[in-house]
Structure 1
Amino acid sequence: MSLEKLEALLSPCRLCPRNCGSKRKNGETGFCKVLDRPMVSSFGPHFGEEPVLVGFGGSGTIFFTGCNLGCVFCQNYQISHLMEGEYISVSELADIMLHLQERGCHNINLVTPTHQTPQIFAAVEEAKTKGLRVPIVYNCGGYESVEVLKELKGLVDIYMPDFKTLSREFASKYLKAPNYPEVVKEALLEMHSQVGDLQVNDYGLAEKGLMVRHLVMPGWTHDSMAVLDWITENLGRNTYVNVMDQYYPFYRACDYPEICRRVTEEEFERVYAYAKRLELRLAV
């Protein structure tokens, strides 16, 4: 891991696959709308994550403002698109991590960290010198630069990417990232090569490894099955996968009538049953 390398990628910015080149240290912002300091919306123990992260003390989530994806259905759109949050210092971010550990959280769950990786991991390094010892969870949208991921080796304990789609049509229309399918495949392969399959301790808590989330979308069950096939064939059946049914047409989703509804029970069950037939290691 090299913080120097990450900081060199920050301005002009090449931290994510958009390679927008914004000079963030000079006051320019790119797609993510964030400058060169940590920008945080909220933090605290979270009990709505996967049981292997939550345990009895909660997952220590930190929600970072901005995003490198443009998902029209984002449930956190106030944070990712409307930019609710405030700039803080690296030391303040390190103190937040230590505070969450002191509260009894089992991990530090970095939500949407991609565009702020240099700031975040400077804070992780500082927090570790002050006693941070719980696992670091990299909770991202899957639109990651392999070059950046390689610099995170040894700092991230648990990668938890979304695997949203394998359809360029879907990615272009709803994520504003036409190359998402190619990018996410390379990113997941790199993540898996670093941390392997998910390891859980005697208390049922995740300690290291890859966790993949997939949100079933209305009218796109064929795409979900393709995603599950790819995981099985390229990462293996022991990959921890959370097939999720909580889609709701938030934000601008109803600008697109075909996704302006909830997923039906039949749609979700079709995908979940398919995942079970593939014998994937499913979240419970």
Structure 2
Amino acid sequence: MTELFDQSSCIVCPRECRADRTQNKGACGADVNLKISLATLHYGEEPVLSGFEARRARIVTSSQGETLSGGSGTIFFSNCNLHCIYCQNYQISHLGQGRYISDEDLLNIIFGLQDEGALNINLVSPTQYTAQLIPILRQAKAAGLRIPIVWNSNAYEKVECIRALGELVDIWLPDFKYADAAQARKYSGISNYPATAIEAIKTMWEYAGELQTDFLGVATRGVMIRHLVLPNGISGSKEALHMIYGAIGNTVSLSLMAQYYPTAACAAYPELSRSITYDEYQEVLETAEELGFDNIFAQEIRPTPDWTPDFDR
């Protein structure tokens, strides 16, 4: 475990770039210091994470008294161990936009979001900072964090890291991106993605199982798998669903996302130059239903950046 988290020869993710992150940056673009772009109450996540309109208005008791709030307490980490050319958070994942923070700063942010009435602490793209986050999450739990921790990742993770996080993370939110390794290599610059991600997801499932909710329908524990449907079958969506089914069955919650829109970086890839069609999305939904998945979060096709946070503010 010591070698796994040795930042002088980084192997924390499946890339195993062995960069000395104490002196330089890894393949993910991150050095050893925590860096975030934004921490905010986010209302654009799945309803079990952000809360429905009525749930957002519930009374939350905090150190500031009773406040009307809700939303997912989302912390966007800078950089990423994937290099998806179509990433809708390109500013932070590729360009590394953000600010450096200390461990104490992050703890203050976490408890500040809880005080604002966040329904959870949602760690977005945290994989490259796993070694730094484990002691911080342990400290937050010991100091009285009452709301769930969400690990919101691209699923390109090591099983050993999932196990190290197992007792600290309450809700696992992996985005299973591709069924085909060649597509993952072409569009995200990584090797052996499907098999690696499936093993990580199986381990998450082992720790947390089916998604559980409280009396308001807000998630408290479990696994929900996201999948972004890409145009022209690039994500291999139907095969991805079969892979999930084969690995952990059909009782896992799915979030099938229709929100893809082409960013400027997609100009060199004509196959990614449009949003998905109604028929493309319907075929994926029908496959999920045929496989017996009955806890599915679906979207209207709205290929706009409406729910992409403003990282410039």
Structure 2 length normalisation: TM-score?
Answer: 0.86
Alignment of structure 1 residues 199-238 onto 2, 5 Å: 199-220=212-233, 223-238=236-251
Q: Does residue 247 in structure 1 map to residue 260 in structure 2?
A: yes
Cα distance in 2, alignment partners of residues 152 and 180 from structure 1 = 21
Show the counterpart of 1:282. Answer: 296
1:22-41 map, 5 Å? 22-25=19-22, 27-41=23-37
How far 1:124 sits from its partner (Å)? Answer: 1.8
Distance 1:54 1:172, change over 3 A: same
Which residue is equivalent to 1:47?
Answer: 43
State the shift of 1:147 in Å: 1.5
AA paired with 2:93? S
Whether 2:2 is the aligned partner of 1:8: answer no
Q: Residues of 2 paired with 1:261 and 1:147: CA distance? A: 38
Structure 2 letter corresponding to 1:182: A
The amino acid that maps onto 2:297 is A
Measured after TM superposition, the shift of residue 279 of structure 1 is: 2.0
Amino acid at match of 2:240: V
Gaps of 5+ in 1: none
1:86-134 Cα distance to aligned partner (Å, 9 max, x none): 1110010011000000000010000000000122222222323332121
Which SS does the other structure have where 2:195 is aligned?
A: helix
Shift of 1:233: 2.2
Q: Cα 1:146–1:9, aligned 2, differ >3 Å: closer, same or farther?
A: farther
Contact 1:60 1:106 in 2 (8 A): yes
Does structure 1 residue 261 correspond to structure 2 residue 274? yes
Letter in 2 for 1:145: K
> C-alpha distance in 2, partners of 1:222/1:45?
30
Change (3 A) 1:93 1:68: same
1:154 aligns with 2:154: no
- Counterpart in the other structure of 2:109: 96
Q: 1:109 and 2:122 equivalent? A: yes
Unaligned segments of structure 2, at least 5 residues? 57-69, 299-313
Query: More deviation in 134-143 or 145-154?
Result: 145-154
1:158: Cα distance to partner?
A: 0.6
Counterpart residue type for residue 40 of structure 2: G
Q: Is the 8 A contact 1:71 1:176 kept in 2?
A: yes
Residue 24 of structure 1 aligns to a residue whose secondary structure is coil
Contact 2:34-2:102 at 8 Å conserved across structures: yes
Aligned residue in 2 for 1:187:
200
Report SS of the residue matched to 2:231: coil
Structure that is richer in helix per residue: 1
CA distance in 1, matches of 2:260, 2:28: 23
Question: Deviations along 1:182-210, whole A, 9 cap, x unmatched?
Answer: 11111111111111111111110111111
Stretches of 4+ moved more than 6 A in 1? none
What amino acid is the match of 2:141? K
Residue-by-residue CA offset, 1:45-102 (whole Å, 9 max, x unaligned): 0000000011220000000000000100000000100111011100100110000000
> Identity percentage over the alignment?
42
C-alpha deviation, 1:5, in angstroms: 4.0
Matched-pair contact (CA < 8 Å) for 1:143–1:187? yes
Match of 2:303 in 1: none
Give the paired residue count: 280
Provide the alpha-carbon RMSD of the alignment. 1.5
**Alpha carbons of 1:206 and 1:5: their partners in 2 closer, same or farther (altered >3 Å)?**
farther
Alpha-carbon distance in structure 2 between the residues aligned to 1:255 and 1:222: 18
Of residues 30-39 and 89-98 in structure 1, the stretch that sits farther from structure 2 once superposed is: 30-39
What is the SS of the residue equivalent to 1:67? coil
